[in-house]
Structure 1
Amino acid sequence: MDANREIQAPNSGCKHGGWVTLPFITGAVVGLTLAGVGWTANLIVYLIGEFNLNSIDAAQVFNVVNGGSFVFPIVGAIIADSFLGCFSVISIFSCISLLGTVCVALTATLSSLRPTACNGGSGSSCNHDHPSSVQFLVLYGGITLASLGQGGTRFTLATMGANQFEKPQQQGVFFNWYFITQYAAYVVGATALVYIQDNLSWGLGFGICVAANFLGLVSFLSGNRFYLHDKPRGSPFMDIGRVIVAAFRKRNFPLSSMPDDYYNPITQAAPPKKAFRFLNRAALKVEGDIRSDGSIAKPWRLCTLQQVEDLKTLFRIFPLWSSSIFLGTTIAMQASLTVLQALNMDRRLGRHFKIPAGSILVIQILTSAIFLTLVDRFFSPAWQKVTKKSPSPLQRIGIGHGLNLLGMAVSALVESERLKTVHDQPEPTPIAPMSALWLVPQLSLVGIGESFHYPGQVALYYEEFPASLRSTSTATISLIIGIAFYLSTAIIDLLRRVTRWLPDSINNGRLDNVYWVLTVVAVLNFGYYLACAKHYKYQNVEKEAAYDTCD
């Protein structure tokens, strides 16, 4: 939470903030997460079976949808910081999510809003019956609104909850409950709701998503009189833009070595640092920049020295941040392609139960949740006992890179074996005589890796970002994931154009080669990360001494 943000209580006659708000916010997290996961987890299967899309196109839509739901939190954070505050943003985006979920549910309920169902279970066999323009409009319109609403509330709810507490320890306890609740709701949505959709009715499954969204919205609004409301004071992203514009407009002015020539209204600081010195011009004082009372006359021509140094900090951390994009890209591609693998494998458990293909990714979530606890309780203390130092965020992220790399290699080996079993059959078969449980190792490795690199990134960005950006530092992780999903979509499209590895039926392609490409990408990206981590210096000297960096 940004320490500079004002907190105000609209009703002084009752208790505000604190643990009394937890049930209302938790109810909103459960409802909105159930609604979002309930329609996204099984989206590939729905598009193939009900809208007759081929498998790769359905995977592409899945990646675009997930990318949007992770990019939109940045939009919500900027609007909350700059204009409306968290409460208004959550309320508005929850309504948008509800409207979108209703549209998606209508496509499953009204036969006129979807094409004739594909009985063969393969999009390639239904190419003669494409959805109409109206059917696509309702479907994609609903998906867009639901993704926008889901993204706009995801991290803003976390900020809203943290704003209810003053002590960092209490905020930490809240975050623990927030993530536990979110993981639990995800598991329920990706298992129970997906099972209902696959075995009972798509309309009923999506209808439950609508009800969950509505109840989450009601729960959140019901706690209004108990909340501490944040007062927006302007987005820190505006300051970033001002520094860049001011530096460009003063590009012809010579730099000075005198501290007094730079605008610093709070303290008498040393001269600006030499790194990225072209930005120092943004704080260079020239005639007409300052009024007689000492305030800035032209905000887009003069910035404070602190604003300049804050932007430099972002430039320093950008290489590390960019390495996480390619880390997320391999994970995003594996997620959509693993669902396609599950659709073409034996998913039976016993005689009467069949694992829904859309639920297979729950393995990754469960593994990550379990190892988050193990890392906190066992790995980190053991590391500290052996090395006499706590594992640094950079080291945790590095371990996550390595485990993710192994996950991609295992994915390639499993797919090679799956294709072998398909081609060894005397007659062509759409389902490989190979258990879907063979997908557990690859998903588990990626999940274990996430338990290292995800909290490592949260800690790194929160500690290293400027104080003015800490309220949105964790939202940048969401931006990374969103970019990764869009990049994965582009890579899949490129591979479809230049290779024959991804036909409509993956049994006729070479998905194993795609995984080997991802393994190579992961190796190169890991090397890039190690180079960036080796040369990175923590901004706080005490943190650098406490951590064992990659030097």
Structure 2
Amino acid sequence: MELDTSNPANREAQNDHPPKHGGWITFPFIIATSACLTLGNAGWVSNLTVYMIEEFNVKRIDAAQVFNMVNGSISLSPLIGAIIADSFLGCFSVIWISSFISLLGTVLLTLTSAISSLRPQTCETGSTACPTPSKFQLAILYAGLALSSFGVGGMRFTLTTMGANQFATTKQQSIYFNWYFFSLYASAIAASTAIVYVEDNVSWALGFGLCAGATALGLVIFLLGSRFYRHVKPEGSPFTSLVQVFVASIRKRKVQISLKNEDYYRGHVNGIQEEVAATPTRSFRFLNRAALIAQEDIAPDGSISNPWKLCTLQQVEDLKTLIRIFPLWSSSIFLGTPIGIQTSLLVLQALTMDRHLGPHFQIPAGSMLVFESFFICIALVLSDRFLRPTWQYLTGRPPTPLQLIGLGHVLNISSMAVSAVVESMRRQSAAMPLSVFWLVPQMALVGVGEAFHFPGQVALYYQEFPASLKSMATAAVGMLIGIAFYLSTAVMGCVRRVTGWLPDDIDDGKVDYVFWMLVVVGVVNFGFYMVCAVLYKYRNPEKAVESGGSTS
């Protein structure tokens, strides 16, 4: 979904929108929708591990793996939402349909907590004699999780894009992004504290009911603003263009590559040839065949007769750009995988530690995840107000996106090392449970690291992706997070089969060994990232410097 509004006049003319649509009148509807939907989603995700352990008698490590799968689905489904919005329905329809699907899933989760026949009989947590849930009970639970996950994921980035499309200038978009992300983190913090407390201390049914109510309210607010929104018509999926280049280059694999510039098709608009790059680049030369002109490829009006046999030179160069950036993108998968493992194990650690805050209050285990969001918010503010100006003062320019991502790698590795040390202390103090606040330093490090590498990746992909593929820039980040969570589930499963480090009762295992393993993986992956970063050349170095320190 296109976020680039550098030429709003042309865009409005193209989509025939009256000037009264869009602008700041849509701001409260978008922000309120974002806050409510995030509140409804984070309220059950944060405490999902505890819910499955206590109410469905699921083994602890299995519950942690389900938690990772849910987060992976939430992170991957925005890509599906982006494709559907770009190709068929547009942002507005995708958002309200996805929100409704999420609401249905949250209602199912509420029913599993409110109707005793939809969950197994309760027993003492950790007991080996606990009855397992039936296939029907698991089917209802997993259906609720699937609907909620794919629903909220489908609208997440789509809502971000639609909000940006309401504003005509970069400055207005910047203000919108700041408030949008603030509403996300603020709502996540509220859900991870207030709603999780209700679930743990009052009623699971009431807590999940609050999540369903917040989701319904967000959907209603979004629909109420429909008469004010600026709607950008779907223009087709960029993935089709990429596949066409591959197909055309394969179909012309026997054609000799020409050195003459005039032999390559650059496209026509109203009969006039587009001005693109003077010559095709020499890298990945086999793809250049897709733009080689054959007599039967051109229609009488100068257009392409078959887009699966001839592509524009710009299409070819766009695909090459994605291929060049792929190594950098892939290095971030193992940046997110340790975070997924750490996050899922954190709740299990918290369940075994002293969570008392004073004589009468006990912190819910699921609420410990709020510290990550808290430190992300703090680090984002400090990064904009202090790090970037200081870095620019010392070096003469702000940090580039690659430097921000690299700093995130280092902090992530440090967080895993601290996790290993704290876990070793926790196991050795089983007679007198360690305070749960020993988990805060590792959450602080991973939160600060995310505040650097997440904006760095958004800035890198958004500035480096070709203009025709901007819709993939934000989706690329979601794909990273989703793949990382799925991979974290696979890694935990592999560790369980090969070693004895992750039994159901982590007190009998060696979770600290898992964290040290992640440190080693992180160091190796950081080395791979450094090689990719040194070899990578920005398409536009000036923009890389300008956007390096921006969190929006």
TM-score of the aligned structures, taking structure 2 as reference length: 0.95
Asked if residue 43 in structure 1 is aligned to residue 45 in structure 2, the reply is no
Which residue number corresponds to residue 54 of structure 1?
Answer: 59
The superposition leaves residues 20-39 of structure 1 with CA deviations (integer Å, 9 ceiling, x where unpaired) of 00111111101110111011
Which residue number corresponds to residue 495 of structure 1?
Answer: 495
Question: 1:104, 1:143 within 8 Å by CA — same for their partners in 2?
Answer: yes
Supply the distance in 2 between the matched residues of 1:278 and 1:244 (Cα, whole angstroms).
10
Structure-to-structure mapping, 1:106-505, within 5 angstroms: 106-118=111-123, 120-122=124-126, 125-126=127-128, 128-265=130-267, 266-267=274-275, 269-422=277-430, 425=431, 433-505=433-505
Task: Give the secondary structure class of the aligned counterpart of 2:232.
Answer: strand
The superposition leaves residues 112-159 of structure 1 with CA deviations (integer Å, 9 ceiling, x where unpaired) of 1000113x222xx25541111110111000100000101001111010
Which residue number corresponds to residue 507 of structure 1?
Answer: 507
Cα separation, partners in 2 of 1:149 and 1:7, compared to 1, 3 Å: farther
C-alpha RMSD of the superposition = 1.9
Question: 1:87, 1:160 within 8 Å by CA — same for their partners in 2?
Answer: yes
Offset at 1:15?
A: 2.8
Task: Give the secondary structure class of the aligned counterpart of 1:353.
Answer: coil
Question: 2:276, 2:313 within 8 Å by CA — same for their partners in 1?
Answer: no
More displaced stretch, 128-137 vs 217-226:
128-137
Question: 1:85, 1:232 within 8 Å by CA — same for their partners in 2?
Answer: yes
Question: 1:9, 1:229 within 8 Å by CA — same for their partners in 2?
Answer: no
One-letter amino acid of the structure 2 residue matched with residue 142 of structure 1: G
Question: 1:8, 1:229 within 8 Å by CA — same for their partners in 2?
Answer: no
Question: 2:102, 2:152 within 8 Å by CA — same for their partners in 1?
Answer: yes
More displaced stretch, 321-330 vs 248-257:
248-257
Task: Give the secondary structure class of the aligned counterpart of 1:102.
Answer: helix
The superposition leaves residues 385-444 of structure 1 with CA deviations (integer Å, 9 ceiling, x where unpaired) of 01111111111111110011100000000000111112xx3xxxxxx5110000001110
Cα separation, partners in 2 of 1:268 and 1:342, compared to 1, 3 Å: closer
Runs of 4+ in 1 over 6 A off after TM superposition: 8-14, 544-548
Cα separation, partners in 2 of 1:126 and 1:109, compared to 1, 3 Å: farther
Match of 2:22 among 17, 26, 36: 17
One-letter amino acid of the structure 2 residue matched with residue 64 of structure 1: M
Question: 1:8, 1:231 within 8 Å by CA — same for their partners in 2?
Answer: no
Task: Give the secondary structure class of the aligned counterpart of 1:473.
Answer: helix
Task: Give the secondary structure class of the aligned counterpart of 2:103.
Answer: helix
In structure 1, stretches of 5+ residues that fail to align are 426-431
Structure-to-structure mapping, 1:530-549, within 5 angstroms: 530-543=530-543
Which residue number corresponds to residue 428 of structure 1?
Answer: none
Cα separation, partners in 2 of 1:127 and 1:289, compared to 1, 3 Å: farther
Cα separation, partners in 2 of 1:315 and 1:285, compared to 1, 3 Å: same
Supply the distance in 2 between the matched residues of 1:473 and 1:454 (Cα, whole angstroms).
13
Structure-to-structure mapping, 1:508-523, within 5 angstroms: 508-523=508-523
In structure 2, stretches of 5+ residues that fail to align are 268-273
The superposition leaves residues 459-489 of structure 1 with CA deviations (integer Å, 9 ceiling, x where unpaired) of 1111111111223311211110000000000
One-letter amino acid of the structure 2 residue matched with residue 150 of structure 1: V
More displaced stretch, 242-251 vs 530-539:
242-251
Cα separation, partners in 2 of 1:13 and 1:369, compared to 1, 3 Å: closer
Which residue number corresponds to residue 94 of structure 1?
Answer: 99
Offset at 1:268?
A: 6.1
TM-score of the aligned structures, taking structure 1 as reference length: 0.95
Cα separation, partners in 2 of 1:111 and 1:14, compared to 1, 3 Å: farther
Cα separation, partners in 2 of 1:220 and 1:518, compared to 1, 3 Å: same
The superposition leaves residues 339-388 of structure 1 with CA deviations (integer Å, 9 ceiling, x where unpaired) of 11101111111101111100101111100110100011001100100111
Supply the distance in 2 between the matched residues of 1:96 and 1:173 (Cα, whole angstroms).
30
Supply the distance in 2 between the matched residues of 1:7 and 1:135 (Cα, whole angstroms).
51
The superposition leaves residues 44-99 of structure 1 with CA deviations (integer Å, 9 ceiling, x where unpaired) of 00000000001000000000000000000000001000111000000110110011
Cα separation, partners in 2 of 1:459 and 1:434, compared to 1, 3 Å: same
Supply the distance in 2 between the matched residues of 1:13 and 1:307 (Cα, whole angstroms).
32
Question: 2:352, 2:433 within 8 Å by CA — same for their partners in 1?
Answer: no
Cα separation, partners in 2 of 1:476 and 1:12, compared to 1, 3 Å: closer
Supply the distance in 1 between the matched residues of 2:129 and 2:492 (Cα, whole angstroms).
21
Supply the distance in 2 between the matched residues of 1:496 and 1:288 (Cα, whole angstroms).
59
Supply the distance in 2 between the matched residues of 1:409 and 1:10 (Cα, whole angstroms).
53
Cα separation, partners in 2 of 1:267 and 1:56, compared to 1, 3 Å: same
Supply the distance in 1 between the matched residues of 2:391 and 2:545 (Cα, whole angstroms).
16
Supply the distance in 2 between the matched residues of 1:380 and 1:171 (Cα, whole angstroms).
20
Percent of pairs with identical residues: 58
